[in-house]
Each structure stands twice: as C-alpha cells, then as structure tokens.
Amino acid sequence: MPIEEFGGKNNYKITPPLPQHLEHQPIYAMPYQPFDGIYRKNTDARYLSVGLSQWGHDDLSLKIMRYRDQWSRQSEEIPLHRVIDSTVFLAKVLLDRDQQSVEIERNLFVDQPEGFRVREESVTATDIQKFEVFLETHNDQLKERFNKLFQLLSSLKTQGKL
C-alpha cells in the first residue's frame, strides 16, 4: 500500500499488509485502524479501499477491509453511490429527525420526485433508549465528522472540483 506520511513519520503502518489476493482489487487504500472512531482502540477494520468491485470488475466500490486472525468475509463492499446515499440518510436520521420521524424531501435521492416521511420502527422502549443513549454519548463526535465532511465539500466546491 503506497502511503507517504507527511514529515517522514511512520505512524500509520498496519499489519497485516493490504491483501492483494481478494476479489476486491484496491486502487486506492488507506490505513483505517487508528481512525475507526469510537472503535479505534479495539477494531478489526484495517483498511478503507476504493477499487474494482468483487461482483463486477467494471464497477467501483468502497470496501471496509476487516481482519482478526484472517481476512474477514464480513468485510463490507459498498457501491460508491450507496456510500453517498447512506451518508445522506444518516445525516437526516442523526441531525434532522423530529418527533420519531425523518422527512425525506423530494429529489434528495435519484429518481425521487415525491417526498416522504420515515417513521421510527416499532421496536421496544429498551431499543429506543439504547439508540438515544448511544447518540447522546457520541453526538459530539458524530457532529464533528459531519462538520469535517461539510468543510471538505465546501473547500472542493470553492476550488471548482464539485
């Protein structure tokens, strides 16, 4: 994995090295273990990769490459548009829900001419409480990540790249 750390440091060396024998073929990959949010001290997520997908080598996907004693079959490979759509939905759920629902305004997703409302699923009060406690505990960290994404997108827009 070609990575050049600024300042000649060697902080982001991950073991094992990026696998080249899997169906997903990385084109760009970055070490992810030290950055895995609230799990960074105990994670099996080793790399993020954008490359040729395992289901069709004409498609690109993002893959979260996981390793415990071997490369995990639970490593997720996600088509690029789904990563973006998932991020949009996540932002709506975490930052814009109101009275146990989320409004998805029209044209937020491709071929979505009408808006709709997503209501909280029928789950136990305990499950809802766990959801709320998690968000209360990690709210600042999640907002910080969304702010970083906003800053990056704003910068790319200013540079004419978006």
Domain ranges of the chain: 6-79, 81-158
pLDDT of 73 reads 79
10-19, 47-56, 124-133: the lowest-pLDDT one: 10-19
Kindly report the average pLDDT of the chain as a whole number: 89
The strand pairing partners of 45, in sequence order, are 66
> Rounded to 5 degrees, what are φ and ψ at 81?
-65, -30
User: Any idea which of 11-15, 17-21, 24-28 has the lowest mean pLDDT?
Assistant: 11-15
- 12's torsion region: left (phi>0), alpha (psi -120 to 50) or beta? alpha
User: 107: alpha, beta or left, given left = phi > 0 and alpha = psi -120 to 50?
Assistant: left
Report the chain's C-alpha Rg in angstroms: 19
pLDDT tens for 124-154 read: 899 999 989 999 999 999 999 999 999 999 9
pLDDT of residue 158: 98
0.85 cut: is pTM over it? no
Given a contact cutoff of 8 angstroms between Cβ atoms, the answer to whether 27 and 40 are in contact is no
Pair 62, 55: CB distance under 8 Å: no
pLDDT on residue 2: 63
Of 6-15, 54-63, 72-81, 149-158, the one with minimum mean pLDDT is 6-15
The more confidently predicted of residues 71 and 161 is: 161
Structure tokens at 46: 């080793």
Report the sign of the C-alpha dihedral through residues 134, 43, 146, 91, in that order. Answer: negative
**Predicted confidence band of residue 119 (pLDDT cuts 50, 70, 90):** very high
**Cα separation of 58 and 82, whole Å?**
17
pLDDT mean over 81-94: 94
